[in-house]
């Protein structure tokens, strides 16, 4: 008989090893899936994990994409992870991301065609505020009426999508766009553009913000009393109240912060890689960031690595679709496996496997 025995404390070894193990298991099972689809498994794995970085022909294009994709994922996931640590489940980062993009781009477009160095910083602030405000809706409802933040934040994603559809064909529509829905292209408006800082690297201001967020979260969670209280709230709510933590303040702080970071990510995306507000400029980063947060074990450095890995599977997945004509769904399945195996192997961190008969009690 196989039994799981709870460890007296989480194993350090397994905490470090499980992400690697999960990636390896994903490669094996994903490879089998690709083989069943009639594609060469080893080649598919190589295209997904290796070619985006080192292929002589494609790498020049796909390498900068790594940072472009990883930036928003990391920025959003960092905000989410702080809430998750406190047991506050913001599932609606996608909505906060969209609202941040709308408010940030709205501020930029309001100044058009004026040129000033102050415009872009104002847009960043507006984006953060937009996301923050959208995050405060579930926060206030939870604090005042005890609603479930998971449901409210998720539902607000669909409200945000409705707003996006409305403004891209109404309020923010490009008056010179010959009637097509979508705003002016911010890439072509210098003061508002989130341009590459170093050409050809994919490094834009959103990536810088993501790195700052990683450092900020690390310091907050490991060095500051407020981060300590956040972790305490997640691990033992009663002990947190005994320590003097006010639960409502933690809810407001966590949802506000994750909303603001998601909103900033939205602004960096719309003013940079996406360029304009369109009905479908958002590409699901808000949801994927949830996977990134867990893949990174809710640890800032882990999230940094997980964001890069996730971005890699995105780019590599697109490449594999292109080169091996793999179906898109199989790539999504592949990414899903990654989270699945991570959660599955996670058991070993807190439990150890005992073989044999049940010992005497």
Instruction: List the one residue from 112, 228, 287, 351 that touches other proteins (CB under 8 A).
Output: 228
Residue 144 host element (H or E): helix 119-145
Q: Kindly give, in sequence order, each residue whose CB lies less than 8 Å from that of residue 203, ignoring residues fewer than 6 positions away.
A: 64, 67, 196, 197
Q: Kindly give, in sequence order, each residue whose CB lies less than 8 Å from that of residue 279, ignoring residues fewer than 6 positions away.
A: 164, 165, 168, 169, 181, 182
Instruction: List the one residue from 235, 327, 336, 343 that touches other proteins (CB under 8 A).
Output: 235
Instruction: List the one residue from 232, 293, 295, 331 that touches other proteins (CB under 8 A).
Output: 232
143 scored as a contact of other proteins (CB under 8 A): no
Does a cis peptide bond (omega within 30 degrees of 0) precede residue 113? yes
- Smallest separation (angstroms) from other proteins to the CB of 253: 13
Footprint on residues 236-265 left by other proteins (CB under 8 A):
236, 238-244, 246
Euclidean distance between CA atoms 337 and 79, whole angstroms: 24
- Smallest separation (angstroms) from other proteins to the CB of 248: 12
Instruction: Kindly compute the dihedral angle of the four CA atoms of residues 58, 59, 62, 68, in this order, to the nearest 10 degrees.
Output: -160
- Pattern 7-46, binding to other proteins, x per CB under 8 A? -xxx------------------------------------
Euclidean distance between CA atoms 8 and 352, whole angstroms: 10
Phi and psi of 308, rounded to 5°?
A: -65, -40
Angle, alpha carbons 224-228-233 (nearest 5°):
150
Footprint on residues 74-133 left by other proteins (CB under 8 A):
none
- Smallest separation (angstroms) from other proteins to the CB of 329: 34
Nearer to other proteins, 198 or 360 (CB): 360
Nearer to other proteins, 160 or 220 (CB): 220
Nearer to other proteins, 7 or 61 (CB): 7
Footprint on residues 204-223 left by other proteins (CB under 8 A):
223
- Smallest separation (angstroms) from other proteins to the CB of 125: 24
361 scored as a contact of other proteins (CB under 8 A): yes
- Smallest separation (angstroms) from other proteins to the CB of 250: 14
357 scored as a contact of other proteins (CB under 8 A): no
Nearer to other proteins, 355 or 361 (CB): 361
Instruction: List the one residue from 46, 63, 231, 352 that touches other proteins (CB under 8 A).
Output: 231
- Smallest separation (angstroms) from other proteins to the CB of 240: 8
Residues touching other proteins, count (CB under 8 A): 21
Angle, alpha carbons 32-35-38 (nearest 5°):
155
CA end-to-end span of the chain: 16
Of 87, 86, 88, 95, nearest to 134 (Cα)? 95
- Smallest separation (angstroms) from other proteins to the CB of 173: 46
57 scored as a contact of other proteins (CB under 8 A): no
Instruction: List the one residue from 171, 225, 301, 353 that touches other proteins (CB under 8 A).
Output: 225
- Smallest separation (angstroms) from other proteins to the CB of 221: 11
5 scored as a contact of other proteins (CB under 8 A): no
Euclidean distance between CA atoms 128 and 138, whole angstroms: 16
Taking a C-beta distance cutoff of 8 angstroms, is the pair 279, 182 a contact? yes
Euclidean distance between CA atoms 132 and 122, whole angstroms: 15
Q: Is the dihedral of CA 54, 58, 60, 65 positive or negative?
A: negative
Enter the DSSP assignment of 358: P
Residue 214 host element (H or E): helix 205-223
20 CB neighbour count, 10 Å cutoff: 10
173 scored as a contact of other proteins (CB under 8 A): no
- Smallest separation (angstroms) from other proteins to the CB of 357: 15
**Binding site residues, other proteins, CB under 8 A:** 8-10, 223-226, 228, 231-232, 235-236, 238-244, 246, 361
């Amino acid at each position: 008989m196989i039994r799981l025995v709870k460890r007296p404390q989480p194993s350090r070894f397994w905490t470090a090893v499980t992400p690697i193990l999960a990636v390896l298991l994903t490669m094996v099972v994903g490879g089998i899936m690709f083989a069943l689809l009639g594609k060469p498994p080893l080649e598919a794995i190589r295209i997904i994990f290796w070619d985006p970085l080192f292929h002589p022909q494609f790498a020049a294009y796909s390498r900068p994409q790594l940072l472009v994709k990883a930036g928003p994922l990391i920025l959003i996931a960092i905000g989410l992870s702080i809430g998750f640590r406190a047991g506050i489940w913001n599932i609606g980062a996608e909505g906060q991301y969209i609202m941040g993009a709308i408010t940030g781009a709205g501020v930029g477009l309001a100044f058009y065609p004026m040129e000033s160095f102050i415009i872009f910083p104002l847009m960043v602030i507006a984006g953060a505020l937009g996301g923050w405000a959208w995050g405060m809706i579930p926060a206030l409802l939870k604090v005042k009426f005890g609603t479930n933040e998971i449901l409210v934040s998720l539902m607000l994603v669909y409200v945000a999508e409705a707003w996006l559809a409305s403004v891209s064909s109404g309020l923010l529509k490009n008056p010179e766009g010959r009637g097509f829905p979508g705003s002016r292209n911010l890439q072509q408006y210098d003061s508002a553009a989130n341009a590459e800082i170093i050409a050809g690297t994919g490094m834009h201001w959103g990536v810088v913000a993501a790195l700052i967020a990683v450092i900020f979260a690390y310091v907050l969670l490991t060095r500051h009393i407020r981060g300590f209280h956040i972790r305490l709230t997640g691990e033992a709510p009663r002990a947190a109240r005994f320590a003097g933590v006010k639960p409502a303040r933690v809810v407001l702080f966590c949802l506000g912060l994750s909303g603001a970071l998601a909103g900033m990510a939205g602004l960096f995306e719309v003013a940079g890689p996406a360029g304009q507000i369109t009905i479908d400029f958002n590409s699901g980063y808000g949801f994927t960031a949830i996977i990134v947060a867990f893949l990174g074990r809710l640890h800032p450095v882990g999230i940094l690595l997980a964001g890069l890995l996730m971005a890699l599977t995105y780019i590599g997945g697109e490449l594999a679709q292109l080169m091996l004509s793999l179906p898109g769904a199989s790539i999504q399945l592949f990414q899903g496996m990654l989270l699945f195996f991570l959660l599955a192997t996670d058991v070993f961190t807190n439990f150890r496997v005992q073989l044999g008969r049940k010992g005497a009690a």
